[in-house]
Structure formats: structure tokens, C-alpha cells
């Protein structure tokens, strides 16, 4: 498929479908983008597993860190890659060796590896590149509009609320019903 | 909606304004509150650390203002926007995020007088220099740029004078030199011209004028085009370096193509403080819903008024880019083909005294210092806004003794013309 742009329906479908996300390159440093995204996705009810060899065995935001995807002791729905475009190729290959295979491989903003994407798609795995799931969730839920960001979403429907004062969700996307966020 | 790309008028009504999530209110409510409660301390920490989207304090974000910001970002084709107290405040925050003491702005000389004052005098206190250049000559921008230049500033449609700036030519120079192009789009509004589509990186507005459109609310906005690489040169440390205010966070790396709007918000607006009132945001939001209708009518009527004045024996000259034969007509056809906007200037025969007589004689036009109202407005700069200047300075500023400026309103154009006719006949 064309990875220059994605339809909202494609992104929404992915955020609706996945529950367990392995984040490769998750940082324990609280001002790094990967830490932000980990924290946000946890707050939205996703089960997020940090992957970082340097932090293996420790916890980030209460989640046990694993050294590699192969070490994770449960099925992974989506692999979210916070590494450079070149390194992403080997991570995608690692992901494709998992049993069961993940449903989605997601590469963060500025990360794009078309060869790796083609290998994943050949095995029926959906791919998103050069996007951030936090920004996409915030965009599609309308939360990102609170910071003046152009969500490019128009709707005459009331946004979906989640528990808490200022938490929106995606209609139909509720990985863990009732959790805060 | 589906993935169909909505048109401008649809965006003007819907962008940023889903029904209220708590009450279902269809019109964006006025969140007239200074502060917002947190769920718990962790939620508060996430908000203060910029890790979650949400509201803390109306100086930084407010849901009514946020709807306005998203709407303007959508209309300009930007990635994000930040609304502030006035157009001047918008310019202050833009340059605060770009310049350090000793840096300079290369600015076209055809600007709103208030902007010229701001740059010549107030910005000097911050150690920011302005290097003036001939707005109608793109090459003169390239000639003025030096190693300390951090921004290029122009107006798309200059006030007054009816000069249409060649945005693409200047944007090409800016891109070549790795400097962001900032465009004040107040007079044109995004209905007539979208500078980001022509290569601008940042757009600013006085929302007080055509965006609000009804002469009732002050406001300004900064639109981030999402196009500039703030990390490439190392010259924009507010975006490319770890920020001590946020425990070492790097804003460009963290917020990507809307990092400039975030920098203006969390460094500029947070610490300098020129926040817009939620009430004003609401009034301007309401105004924007009719922007396409109003700007078309303003432009159509202004062209008719310009044609009437051109044929009047007491009028020496008319400057309006929407007029056939005007020196800027071809640039207007390129950058703002739907119309030349509401503002025009003309020279009344008889000089200073004739100008004073004209603004005294009008009955429908309001004699005041503003533009972009539903009402038709008139001013004689030489006796008012530019009174303190010498005659030579007045002429250089486009405010010679004979100059009269109109902001053509939305009344019946026959009535506007009749008022000018009776006022001119008594001059």
C-alpha cells in the first residue's frame, strides 16, 4: 500500500484492533518522546510492554522491560518502533518471527523503511510509518485540539468521553473498559 | 466525516468545533474559567510535563480558545495555531521563539504602522534588530540577510497602500538561506490568500480585523505551517536544544511539525502572558463562520467603490490591487484571485484640508482607526495616526496630506458610494 498518507479509517481501525503494544526503544528518561507515548497509551488503556536491552528486568511506569521482542511472554498485537529507519528493518524481521505474528508494525515519526514494510505486508501484517500513535489517538479523539493542533477531523457527533475530567477516547476503541483515560 | 477533503466554507464553520463533550452543546461554549481541576496528582504532573493533552490554566490553554486555534490552523492549512491577545502579541511571541539578543529580522517596508513601531522601538529593548528592505523587490531581501538573521517578515497584502507581496519569490530566498518566512495575512484573510501554500512557514493575524469581522474583539493568532526544520542550523535553540523549563525536553524532537506552535505556547505565552479572553475567542469563532461570505462581499464592494472613485473628478488617484490597471493587479490575480480585500487608499484633490473636510462630511462611514468591520470605516492618516510625523515622513509612510483610507464595509454598496459622493461634493 501507499505509505505517504493514511486514511483516518485505516489508523482508527488499527487503534481499535490492537490491545497489547510492544514498544521497541522505550526510554526511562521522563522527557524523551518514547516515555511520553508509553505513558499516554497506558493511560488510554493499552497494555504497553517496553523493550530496551539496557533496562531489561527493570520497570518503566510499572511495566516490566524486556530485552527483545522474543523475550515477551505473551502475544503482541502491535510493535511500535522508536529506533532509526535503518535499525527498523531488523526489528521488523524480529517481529515477523514471533508466533503468533503481530497484527501491526508501527514506525514512529521520521522513521520509514519501505523494504521492511513490504516484508511485513507480504506476511499480512499491517504497517504504519512516520506517524505517532499518541498524536493519532489524540487527533482522532479530538484531545489534540486542546493544544491548538489541526486534527483535520470534522464531526457533528459528541466526542466519546472516558473516565476522568479531561479524557476523550475513540468511539469503539476501548481496550480496557472502565480504566482511567 | 469520511476522508473527503472539506471545502473552505465547511472548515470555517466546523473545524475545531465538535459538540461539547460534556453537555452536547452544539455551539462551542464560552469556558469563562481561569483554571481546570485535575483528576489526581499524576494527571496534573502529566499536564505540567506536556505529556498529556489537556487544560491547566487559561493563560496557557482554554477549550473555547482551542476551538478558535484549530479552526484558524485548518483555514490556513497549518499544523497548529496559538491564539493570543492581539496581533501585536502574536508577533512578539513569534520573534521571542526565533530570536536571541543580537539577532535580526529582515522585514519588508510595506507594513502596518503599528508593526513598524513595534519592530523599530519595542523590539530594540530585547536586543532584536530590524533590517528594512523594499517589500516589492524580492532580491533586496536576499541582500539584507546576514549571519544573525533569524526571520523574514512580510504582509501578504500590505496596509495601507494595496501592495501585494510576491510571497513565492521571497519564500524561495528564505528556503535557500534556511530562514523561516513569517507572513502577516490580516488584510487578505485565508479566504483570499493562504500564504503557507505559497511557501510561508509561519502566518500571523490580527484576528481583531476580518477574522472576527465585527469590530468587537481583540485577538491575534500564530499559525505553524509545519514546514520549517528548526533543528537543521542550530540557530533556533528554543526548539532544538533541551529546555530547562521542561527538565531538558527538546521541543522540536518531541512535537515534530507543530513544535513551533507549542514553543510559542509553553515558552512565550506561558511566560510573557498575553492570553486572549475566552469571550473574545467565542466572538471571533462566531465571526469566522461567515468569513467566506463577508470577504467576498468586502472585496466586491471595495472594487466597485474603487471604480467609482477612479472616475471622480475630485479624486487624484486610487490604490487598490483589485482594480484593473493597478500596478499590483497581476500579483493580486496570482495570490488572491477571489478579490483584493476591503481596504483601499485614494488621494483627494486639495491636499490636507480636503482630506480633513472629507472625513468630516461623511455620514455613513465611521471616522476611526481600524479596519475589518462590518461597518464602512474612513480615516485621514495625516491628521490622525500619522499626525506627529513631518510632511516628508508622512509621504514616505504612504500617509501624505491627501491620502484617505477606506475599509469598505458590508452595507449596500450603493449607500457606501452615495455617502462618499455627498462627502466629496462638499469638499
Report the CATH number at residue A106.
3.40.50.720
CATH number at residue B344: 3.90.1150.10
Inter-CA distances, B271 with B56, B60, B125, B132, B220, Å: 14, 9, 17, 29, 17
Contacts B251 to A, Cβ<8 Å: none
- The answer to whether residue B241 sits within a structural domain is yes
Q: Which residues lie below 8 Å from residue B89, measured CB to CB, with a gap of 6+? A: B220, B274
Q: Do A150 and B6 touch (CB under 8 A)?
A: no
Would you say A19 and A77 are in contact if contact means Cβ atoms under 8 Å apart?
yes
Residue B394 lies in a domain: yes
> In this structure, are B58 and B184 located in the same domain?
yes
Contacts across the A-B interface (CB distance below 8 Å) = 128
Q: Are residues B353 and B340 in the same domain?
A: yes
Residue A149 vs residues B31, B91, B327, B404: alpha-carbon distances, Å = 19, 19, 38, 40
Q: Which of A148, A151, A170 to mutate to test the interface with B (most CBs of B within 10 A)?
A: A148
Residue B61 CA from chain centroid, whole number: 21
ipTM: 0.90
Q: Please tell me whether residues B26 and B147 are part of one structural domain.
A: yes
Cell, residue A1:
500500500
Domain for residue A110, yes or no?
yes
Residue B274 in any domain: the answer is yes
Residue B1 domain-assigned (yes or no)? no
Counting as low any pLDDT under 70, the low residues of chain B are 1-3
A168 found inside a domain: no
* B9 inside 8 A of chain A by CB: no
Please give the Cα distance from A140 to A162 (Å, whole number).
14
Closest-approach residue (CA) in chain A for B64 = A146
Does residue A165 belong to any structural domain of this protein? no
For chain B, what's the residue count? 427
Nearest CA in chain A to B15: A154
Give average pLDDT by consecutive 10-residue segment, chain A, 181 residues.
94 96 96 95 96 97 98 98 96 97 96 97 98 95 94 91 86 53 39
- The answer to whether residues B280 and B305 belong to one domain is no
Which among B36, B39, B53 has the least Cβ separation from residue A147?
B53
Q: How far apart are CA A49 and CA A69, in angstroms?
A: 9
Q: 3-state secondary structure string, A53-102?
A: HHHCCCEECCEECECCHHHCCCCCCEEEECCCHHHHHHHHHHHHCCCCCC
List pLDDT tens digits, range B8-34. 999 999 999 999 988 999 999 999 999
Instruction: Quote the number of domains for chain A.
Output: 1
List, for residues B400-411, the tens digit of each pLDDT value: 999 999 999 999
Residues B231 and B317 placed together within one structural domain of the fold: no
Same-domain check for residues B139 and B277: yes
Mutate which: B10, B13, B52, B248, vs A, most A CBs within 10 A = B52
Question: What is the C-alpha separation between B117 and B119, in angstroms, rounded?
Answer: 5
- Please give the pLDDT value at position B394: 80
d(CA A140, CA A138): 6
The chain-wide mean pLDDT, for chain B, equals 95
- Could you tell me which of B102, B132, B165, B112 has the C-alpha nearest to residue B336? B165
Indicate the residue among B246, B268, B288 that finishes a domain.
Answer: B288
- Whether A169 maps to a domain, the answer reads no
Among residues B354, B343, B369, B340, which one has the least CA distance to residue B400? B354
Task: Report d(CA A100, CA B10) in Å as an integer.
Answer: 45
The total number of structural domains that make up chain B: 2
Q: Tell which A residues from 100 to 119 touch B, by Cβ distance under 8 Å.
A: 109-110
A90 located within any domain: yes
Same domain, residue pair B132 and B258: yes
- The reply to whether B264 and B320 lie within a common domain is no
Supply the pLDDT for residue A179: 44
In angstroms, the separation between the Cα of residue A45 and the nearest Cα of chain B is 14
Q: Is B341 left (phi over 0), alpha (psi -120 to 50) or beta?
A: left
- What CATH code is carried by the domain that includes residue B179? 3.40.640.10
On whether both B142 and B263 belong to a single domain, the answer is yes
Chain A hits for B22, Cβ within 8 Å:
161
One domain, residues B275 and B356: no
The beta-carbon contacts of A32-36 under 8 Å, at least 24 apart in sequence, are A33/A82, A33/A108, A33/A132, A33/B253, A33/B254, A34/A82, A34/A108, A35/A60, A35/A61, A35/B51, A36/A134, A36/B50, A36/B51, A36/B254
Of A40, A148, A156, nearest to B19 by CB-CB distance is A156
Contact (Cβ atoms closer than 8 angstroms) between residue A168 and residue A162:
yes
Cβ-Cβ contacts under 8 Å, A152 against chain B: 74
The boundaries of the domain holding residue A93 are 8-132
Put simply, the answer to whether B69 touches A132 (Cβ < 8 Å) is: no
| pLDDT on residue A181 | 39
Of B288, B322, B337, which one is at a domain's C-terminal end?
B288
Last residue of a domain, one of B254, B272, B288: B288
The closest CB to that of B66, out of A148, A153, A164, belongs to A148
Task: Evaluate whether residue B39 is within a structural domain.
Answer: yes
B174 and B48 inside one domain: yes
Query: Can you give the pLDDT at residue A9?
Result: 93
| Distance set, CA B38 to CA A178, B62, B67, B141, B155 (Å) | 18, 14, 21, 49, 42
* Domain assignment of residue B338, yes or no: yes
d(CA B419, CA B365): 7
Same domain, B282 and B303: no
In a domain, A144, yes or no: no
* Domain coverage including residue B51: 15-288
A chain contacts of residue B225, beta-carbon cutoff 8 Å? none
- Which of A32, A43, A150, A156 is the best residue to mutate to test the B interface, defined by the most B CB atoms within 10 Å of its own CB? A150
The predicted-structure confidence for A77-120, as pLDDT tens digits, reads as follows 999 999 999 999 999 999 999 999 999 999 999 999 999 999 99
Distance of CA B70 to the CA centre of its chain: 16
**Coil, strand, or helix at residue B52?**
coil
Inspect the interface and report whether the beta carbons of A40 and B51 lie closer than 8 Å. yes
User: How far is residue B421 CA from its own chain's centroid?
Assistant: 32
Determine, for residues B53 and A146 on separate chains, whether the beta-carbon distance falls below 8 Å: yes
CB distance A159–B254 less than 8 Å? no
Task: Tell me if chain B has a CB within 8 Å of the CB of A5.
Answer: no
Amino acid at each position: 500500500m501507499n505509505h505517504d498518507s493514511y486514511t483516518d479509517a485505516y489508523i482508527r481501525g488499527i487503534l481499535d484492533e490492537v490491545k497489547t503494544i510492544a514498544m521497541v526503544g522505550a526510554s526511562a528518561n521522563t522527557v524523551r518522546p518514547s516515555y511520553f507515548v508509553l505513558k499516554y497509551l497506558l493511560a488510554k488503556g493499552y497494555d504497553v510492554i517496553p523493550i530496551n536491552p539496557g533496562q531489561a528486568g527493570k520497570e518503566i511506569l510499572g511495566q516490566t522491560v524486556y530485552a527483545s521482542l522474543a523475550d515477551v511472554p505473551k502475544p503482541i498485537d502491535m510493535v511500535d518502533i522508536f529506533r532509526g529507519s535503518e535499525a527498523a528493518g531488523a526489528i521488523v524481521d524480529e517481529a515477523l518471527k514471533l508466533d503468533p505474528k503481530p497484527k501491526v508494525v508501527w514506525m514512529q515519526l521520521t522513521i520509514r523503511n519501505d523494504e521492511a514494510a513490504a516484508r511485513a505486508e507480504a506476511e499480512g501484517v499491517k504497517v504504519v510509518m512516520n506517524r505517532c500513535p499518541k498524536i493519532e489517538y489524540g487527533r482522532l479523539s479530538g484531545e489534540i485540539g486542546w493544544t491548538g493542533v489541526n486534527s483535520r477531523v470534522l464531526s457533528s457527533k459528541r466526542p466519546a468521553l472516558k473516565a476522568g475530567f479531561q479524557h476523550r477516547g475513540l468511539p469503539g476503541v476501548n481496550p480496557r473498559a472502565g480504566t482511567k483515560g | 466525516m469520511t476522508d473527503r477533503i472539506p471545502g473552505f466554507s465547511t472548515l470555517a464553520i466546523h473545524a475545531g468545533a465538535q459538540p461539547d463533550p460534556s453537555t452536547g452543546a452544539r455551539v462551542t461554549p464560552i469556558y469563562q474559567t481561569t483554571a481546570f481541576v485535575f483528576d489526581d496528582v499524576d494527571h496534573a504532573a502529566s499536564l505540567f510535563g506536556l505529556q498529556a493533552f489537556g487544560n491547566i490554566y487559561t493563560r496557557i490553554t482554554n477549550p473555547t480558545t482551542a476551538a478558535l486555534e484549530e479552526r484558524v490552523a485548518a483555514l490556513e492549512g497549518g499544523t497548529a495555531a496559538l491564539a493570543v491577545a492581539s496581533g501585536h502579541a502574536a508577533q512578539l511571541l513569534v520573534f521571542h521563539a526565533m530570536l536571541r539578543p543580537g539577532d535580526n529580522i529582515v522585514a519588508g517596508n510595506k507594513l502596518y504602522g503599528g508593526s513598524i513601531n513595534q519592530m523599530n522601538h519595542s523590539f530594540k529593548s530585547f536586543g532584536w534588530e530590524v533590517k528594512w528592505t523594499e517589500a516589492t523587490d524580492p532580491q533586496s531581501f536576499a541582500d539584507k540577510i546576514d549571519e544573525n538573521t533569524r526571520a523574514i517578515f512580510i504582509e501578504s497584502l500590505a496596509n495601507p497602500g494595496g501592495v501585494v507581496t510576491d510571497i513565492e519569490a521571497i519564500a524561495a530566498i528564505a528556503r535557500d538561506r534556511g530562514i523561516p518566512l513569517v507572513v502577516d495575512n490580516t488584510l487578505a484573510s485565508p479566504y483570499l490568500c493562504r500564504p503557507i501554500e505559497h511557501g510561508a512557514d509561519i502566518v500571523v493575524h490580527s484576528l481583531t480585523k476580518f477574522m472576527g469581522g465585527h469590530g468587537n474583539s481583540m485577538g491575534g493568532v500564530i499559525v505553524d505551517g509545519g514546514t520549517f526544520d528548526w533543528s537543521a542550523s542550530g540557530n533556533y535553540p528554543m526548539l532544538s536544544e533541551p529546555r530547562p523549563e521542561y527538565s531538558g525536553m527538546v521541543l522540536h524532537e518531541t512535537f515534530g511539525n507543530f513544535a513551533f506552535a507549542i514553543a510559542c505556547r509553553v515558552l512565550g505565552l506561558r511566560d510573557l502572558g498575553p492570553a486572549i479572553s475566552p469571550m473574545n475567542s467565542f466572538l471571533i469563532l462566531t465571526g469566522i463562520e461567515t468569513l467566506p461570505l463577508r470577504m467576498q462581499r468586502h472585496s466586491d464592494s471595495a472594487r466597485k467603490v474603487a471604480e467609482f472613485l477612479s472616475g471622480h473628478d475630485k479624486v487624484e488617484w486610487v490604490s487598490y490591487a483589485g482594480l484593473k490597471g493597478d500596478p499590483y493587479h497581476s500579483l493580486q490575480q496570482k495570490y488572491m484571485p477571489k478579490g483584493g480585500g476591503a481596504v483601499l487608499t485614494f488621494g483627494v484633490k486639495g491636499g490636507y484640508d480636503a482630506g480633513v473636510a472629507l472625513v468630516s462630511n461623511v455620514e455613513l462611514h465611521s471616522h476611526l482607526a481600524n479596519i475589518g468591520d462590518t461597518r464602512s470605516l474612513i480615516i485621514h492618516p495625516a491628521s490622525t495616526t500619522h499626525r506627529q510625523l513631518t510632511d516628508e515622513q508622512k509621504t514616505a509612510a504612504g500617509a501624505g496630506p491627501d491620502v484617505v483610507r477606506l475599509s469598505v464595509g458590508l452595507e449596500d454598496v450603493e449607500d457606501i458610494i452615495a455617502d462618499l459622493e455627498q462627502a466629496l461634493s462638499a469638499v
